[in-house]
Amino acid sequence: MAVHEYDEGSIRSLDWKEHIRLRPGMYIGKLGDGSSLDDGIYVLLKEVVDNCIDEHTMGHGKYVDITVKNGEVLVRDYGRGIPLGKVVDVVSKINTGAKYDSNVFQKSVGLNGVGTKAVNALSASFRVRSFRDGKMKMAEFARGELVNDPKEIPSKEENGTEIFFTPDETVFKHYKFIDEYIENQVWNYCYLNAGLVMNFNNKRFVSKNGLLDLLERKTNVDEIKYPIIHLKGNDVEIALTHSGDYGEEIYSFVNGQHTTQGGTHQQAFREAFVKTIREFYKKDYEASDIRQSIVAAVSIRVVEPVFESQTKTKLGSINMDEKGPSVKSFMMDFLSKELDNYLHRNPAIADSLKKRIEQSEHERKELSGIKKIANERAKKANLHNKKLRDCKYHLDDVFDGKNKNEMEIKKLESTIFITEGDSASGSITKSRNVETQAVFSLRGKPLNCYGLSKKIVYENEELNLLQHALNIEQGIEELRYNNIVIATDADVDGMHIRLLIMTFFLQFFPDLVRNGHVYILETPLFRVRDKKETIYCYSETEKQQAVTKLTGKPEITRFKGLGEISPNEFAEFIGENIKKEPVMMAGEAHIQKLLEYYMGKNTMQRQEFIISNLRIEIDAVDEILN
């Protein structure tokens, strides 16, 4: 074992940009390529836009313009503009900013003086321009290094700040912005700031009714059990209803920040809602029955929020202000008064809510005996079968003693591949990263769950074992893997299995899809190689391009199934270069309508859709070949 001296020479001091680039996860979470909601490139965008929103919250600027094209980002607000003499410092000196002055920025998101500095350091190119009182000051950087610092010049532009950046491809490998993710971010900003107009790629976004609009967009009026309840108070806004879907769907926000991992405010809402309902109906309902199928949005504003990481996805334990109540007691007081008053004033809604709770209670009792048997069967199966090859993240205390940020990154990277058959699962198992990647092997095609009750999940061994492997029986709060990747062959059977798995998730665990946890693994269809180079191709078009590029007559291999790809090769496709397509629902899409169309009885309608889209694909291939 080599001996390394620990002396003065071992001690290093890094400047601000070196530290951010050396440890980017501390500042923006996982890196990723843009295929996940929580990938770093969206955090960079959010850090910039958060500053625009803070300006608006303080009463400055009613518009924000965002343009994202070809991997480049431009954000312009119309607030006060950064003070011209501090433009360089604000984007390049850690712990520098106006957010430390609570008189200038109250109840803002950006409190750590890090946000735009991290964007600057992790961008190949970064430019800031501040327009203020008829003057403009610009500064340009490359990977955090100041490369252009011209003097102030006169300007006729409106006051405000403009940030341009291009994420550094040496940090974010093969990244690509997905417009749907950004649109979802933009909508959330609008819901939380009624009246704010945001323009994203020349598309206008605005909300008049705040969280009421959010829930109307996220739910289908034909599926909710009663009209949306909308409550507003000082520093708090809540909208809620119950749907016919399974699980809990709660969107929580702090100072305009979407806390995707919840935190004390979300837990406070869940507890306060249960307590208020029990007291209103004077009955000790099970908490799970009260919250089953709830769809809610919760927003609070606090002074100096404490988040559990720089990415601000989970709120820690805080008071509403320095001398005020805790979030829990604040939420309890608000709901016990406002929700109770609302239900007394609206007896028809109160009656519908009660019926939904009692329906959940009936379903739970009906399932109790089946669940007990199924849980015992799953426990026994997990001891003896090889369906789940778990990862060390769950099997060992491998992060004991390591910092919280590192644990959080590993949690975000944790992945389970769902495969069919021994050959495919064997290839992935041999080539995976055992620290964070697990494999679950299905036996044959899973059951089509469309239109079935949750009883079938416990009666069907494959589905029961899958829900236990994911640990989602009680909802997705204890989900064991952040990324669920469906890995099936690129043939008709593989596509069918993929559809059946997605139907299972959408029917019984829709929150997995809504919260961006489900992906389709893309693996190459062809390998094209000569003596010097090997190119993996994901389409017929890429194959033709590879054949043209390589010299001579290259060898072409068509991969018919995952099991045909050797473990050594597979490591290329599930490691750093993994290509996975997120399973996403458009804001206006509703689950039952989707399932009815794609998995229901409308055979002819669906057949016409498939044939018509297949014709488009064939025409495109013909055009390329000719």
pLDDT in tens, 226-240: 999 999 988 899 999
Burial class of residue 204, CB neighbours in 10 A (0-12, 13-18, 19+):
exposed
Closest by Cα among 382, 364, 367 to 461: 382
Q: CA 62, CA 487: separation in Å to the nearest integer?
A: 45
Whether 278 shows a pLDDT value over 70: the answer reads: yes
pTM > 0.85: yes or no: no
Q: What is the largest CA-CA distance in the chain?
A: 81
Strand pairing partners for 135? 132, 154
Residue 510 amino acid letter: P
Q: CA 128, CA 86: separation in Å to the nearest integer?
A: 11
Closest by Cα among 458, 468, 505 to 388: 468
Tokens describing residue 371: 């669940």
Average pLDDT of span 461-482: 86
DSSP single-letter state for residue 326:
B
Position 111 confidence tier, pLDDT thresholds 50, 70, 90: very low
Position 394 confidence tier, pLDDT thresholds 50, 70, 90: low
Of the given ranges (263-267, 312-316, 448-452, 473-477), which has the lowest mean pLDDT? 312-316
Whether 211-363 and 385-523+559-589 share one fold: the answer is no
Q: Which residues contact 53 (CB under 8 A, 6 or more apart)?
A: 64, 109, 189, 193, 196, 256
Whether 494 shows a pLDDT value over 80: the answer reads: yes
Q: CA 239, CA 251: separation in Å to the nearest integer?
A: 10
Whether 396 shows a pLDDT value over 60: the answer reads: no
Closest by Cα among 512, 506, 499 to 470: 512
Concatenating the DSSP letter of every residue in 101-113 gives -TTTS-S-S--SS
CA 248 to centroid of chain Cα atoms: 16
Q: CA 200, CA 33: separation in Å to the nearest integer?
A: 21
Of the given ranges (150-159, 328-337, 348-357, 468-477), which has the lowest mean pLDDT? 468-477
pLDDT digits (tens, 9 = 90+) for 113-158: 468 899 999 999 999 999 999 999 999 999 999 999 999 999 999 9
What was the pLDDT predicted at 14?
A: 62
Higher pLDDT, 325 or 440: 440
What was the pLDDT predicted at 109?
A: 47
Strand pairing report for 555-558 and 579-582: unpaired
Q: Which fold, 385-523+559-589?
A: Rossmann fold (3.40.50)
Q: Write phi, then psi, for 73 (nearest 5 degrees).
A: -125, 135
| 100, 117 Cβ separation under 8 angstroms | no
Average pLDDT of span 85-107: 62
Q: CA 326, CA 318: separation in Å to the nearest integer?
A: 6
CB atoms within 10 A of CB 282: 6
Burial class of residue 6, CB neighbours in 10 A (0-12, 13-18, 19+):
exposed
pLDDT digits (tens, 9 = 90+) for 280-337: 999 999 998 999 889 999 998 877 656 555 444 555 555 545 555 688 888 899 999 9
Helix, strand, coil shares of the chain, percent, nearest 5, are: 45, 20, 40
Going from N- to C-terminal start, the domains of the chain cover 16-205, 211-363, 385-523+559-589
DSSP single-letter state for residue 150:
P
Residue 4 amino acid letter: H
pLDDT digits (tens, 9 = 90+) for 226-276: 999 999 988 899 999 998 877 788 888 888 778 777 678 888 899 999 999
Q: Which residues contact 220 (CB under 8 A, 6 or more apart)?
A: 243, 590, 592, 593
Average pLDDT, the chain: 82
Higher pLDDT, 436 or 405: 436
CB atoms within 10 A of CB 534: 15
Whether 405 shows a pLDDT value over 50: the answer reads: yes
Closest by Cα among 191, 263, 176, 264 to 232: 191
CATH top class, domain 16-205: alpha beta
Q: Which residues contact 335 (CB under 8 A, 6 or more apart)?
A: 231, 238, 269, 272, 273, 275, 276
Residues in the chain: 626
What was the pLDDT predicted at 588?
A: 54
Whether 572 shows a pLDDT value over 90: the answer reads: no
CATH top class, domain 211-363: alpha beta
What was the pLDDT predicted at 418?
A: 93
Q: Where are the alpha helices (DSSP H) in 81-210?
A: 87-92, 115-121, 179-192
Share of the chain above pLDDT 70, in %: 81
- Residue corresponding to tokens 């488009």: 616
Q: Which residues contact 121 (CB under 8 A, 6 or more apart)?
A: 16, 17, 20, 21, 143, 144
Q: Kindly list the strands in the beta sheet with 579-582, ordered across the sheet, starting from the edge strand earlier in the chain.
A: 388-389, 437-442, 415-420, 483-486, 518-522, 579-582
What was the pLDDT predicted at 603?
A: 60
CB atoms within 10 A of CB 502: 20
Task: From residue 89, give the alpha-carbon distance in Å to each of 113, 117, 124.
Answer: 11, 9, 19
Per-residue H/E/C for 26-82: HHHCCCCCCCCCCCHHHHHHHHHHHHHHHHHHCCCCCEEEEEEECCEEEEEECCCCC
Burial class of residue 111, CB neighbours in 10 A (0-12, 13-18, 19+):
buried
| 562, 423 Cβ separation under 8 angstroms | yes
